[in-house]
Structure 1
Amino acid sequence: MRRSKAETAETRRNIVKTAGIRFRQNGICETGLADLMESAGLTHGGFYRHFASKDQLISEASADAFAANVAEMEAAASTVKGRKALEAIADAYLSPEHRKDRAHGCPLAALGSEFARSEKSTRSVATEGILKMIAIVAERLKDPNTVRAKKSASVFVATMLGALTISRIVADPKVSSEILAATRAKLSSWE
């Protein structure tokens, strides 16, 4: 029985969404296609009807994950104006909930080292996502369209990423929470 184009597109979206979650949860290298397709409610053999390779899926799932992360940053920033928007971005990104939910969180914090070793198409997707994150922060800085704002926003994003990553690594929950809180406090007074 042939599926309609709409059903095929929906199945593909489901695979991409599931892959994004599984990659962030378990890592790209640790996520096998058979397990991924089973999680999506499909058979392993159906994979190649939708994708030419795992690398193609990695790129598409990464783009989808970055789009969700960027949308969350924009949503956090849209609730307030000016400096408070930066504080809202940092509060959302550096929250205990984000720390715990790697599967639905920032793909950089979950997969950064794997992105660095990925194919060029995936690194390009990651680069685009990073630049969008930087742009969201830069738009909320004083004189947003300047080189200074872009540089400052780059440091802001890198600081959030580093703090979230380190907070996930440390074994002591108290230290992990202190790292998030200290970074949120520092970023709330960002210039």
Structure 2
Amino acid sequence: MRYPASHKLQTRRRIVAMASLRFRAEGLAQVGIANLMADLGLTHGGFYAHFASKEALIAAACGEALEQMNRHWRQQLADSRDGGCLAALAGQYLSPAHRDFCDSGCLTAALAGELARQGPEVRQRFTDGLQPMLDTLDEARRRDGTGPAPLVGLALMVGALLLARTVSDSGLSQRILDEARAALLDG
């Protein structure tokens, strides 16, 4: 049976989407290709029709997750009034819901430590995906007329989310989110 021409692209997208979710939820090393493909109802051997290596899959999943986050931020900006852009971004990013669901949240906060140990292909894809996010934060700052430099804002948000996810004390976790949001908006 022949598949339509779009089948391979659709299958690749499914693999990348599932990998992106699983990598953020479980970590890079814990996700095996055989189990990932089985979760999708595909064979392990079929993986190599789409990717040369696990590193290539990690790079693709990384790029997709960063693009997805920036699309979400861009939509939030489109829905925000000038003067409230950073508050909208920070309100969602530094929220208990985002803290509690890392599999669908920010790739950077979930995997930055692991990504730093990856090869050049993955790190380049991460670097390429970071600039649009910085541009979005810069636009939010310009529209608000205040706020930290984009790199500072991103570092504050990612660092706070990472810490809030890591501590065992729920009160401290919430305090980290609240204080980071306040610091971001004090700009």
**TM-score, normalised by the number of residues in structure 1:** 0.91
Deviations for 1:120-171, whole angstroms, at most 9, x for unmatched residues? Answer: 1111111122221111111122499xxxx99711100100000000000001
Tell me the distance in 2 between the aligned counterparts of 1:3 and 1:185.
53
Gaps of 5+ in 1: none
Tell me the distance in 2 between the aligned counterparts of 1:29 and 1:57.
13
The Cα shift of 1:4 comes to 2.1
The Cα shift of 1:188 comes to 2.0
User: Per the alignment, in what secondary structure is the counterpart of residue 140 of structure 2?
Assistant: coil
Gaps of 5+ in 2: none
The Cα shift of 1:35 comes to 1.2
Equivalent residue for 1:167? Answer: 164
The one of 152, 176, 181 aligned to 1:184? 181
The one of 155, 158, 175 aligned to 1:158? 155
Structure 1 ranges of 4+ moved more than 6 A: none
State whether residues 160 and 183 of structure 1, in contact with CA within 8 Å, keep that contact through their aligned partners in structure 2. yes
Equivalent residue for 2:87? Answer: 87
Deviations for 1:11-31, whole angstroms, at most 9, x for unmatched residues? Answer: 111001101001111011111
**TM-score, normalised by the number of residues in structure 2:** 0.93
Matching residue's letter, 1:171: S
Alignment of 1:1-191 (within 5 A): 1-142=1-142, 152-190=149-187
Q: Percent identity?
A: 38
Tell me the distance in 1 between the aligned counterparts of 2:9 and 2:78.
31
Matching residue's letter, 1:111: L
- Classify 1:142/1:68 alpha carbon distance in 2 versus 1 (closer, same or farther; 3 Å): closer
User: Per the alignment, in what secondary structure is the counterpart of residue 84 of structure 2?
Assistant: helix
State whether residues 21 and 104 of structure 1, in contact with CA within 8 Å, keep that contact through their aligned partners in structure 2. yes
Of 65-74 and 126-135, more deviation after overlay is shown by: 126-135
Deviations for 1:37-77, whole angstroms, at most 9, x for unmatched residues? Answer: 11222121211111111111111111111111111111222
State whether residues 24 and 110 of structure 1, in contact with CA within 8 Å, keep that contact through their aligned partners in structure 2. yes
User: Per the alignment, in what secondary structure is the counterpart of residue 133 of structure 2?
Assistant: helix
State whether residues 82 and 143 of structure 2, in contact with CA within 8 Å, keep that contact through their aligned partners in structure 1. no
Tell me the distance in 1 between the aligned counterparts of 2:58 and 2:119.
9
- Classify 1:168/1:143 alpha carbon distance in 2 versus 1 (closer, same or farther; 3 Å): closer
Tell me the distance in 1 between the aligned counterparts of 2:57 and 2:30.
15
How many pairs align?
Answer: 186
Tell me the distance in 2 between the aligned counterparts of 1:127 and 1:32.
25
State whether residues 76 and 89 of structure 2, in contact with CA within 8 Å, keep that contact through their aligned partners in structure 1. yes
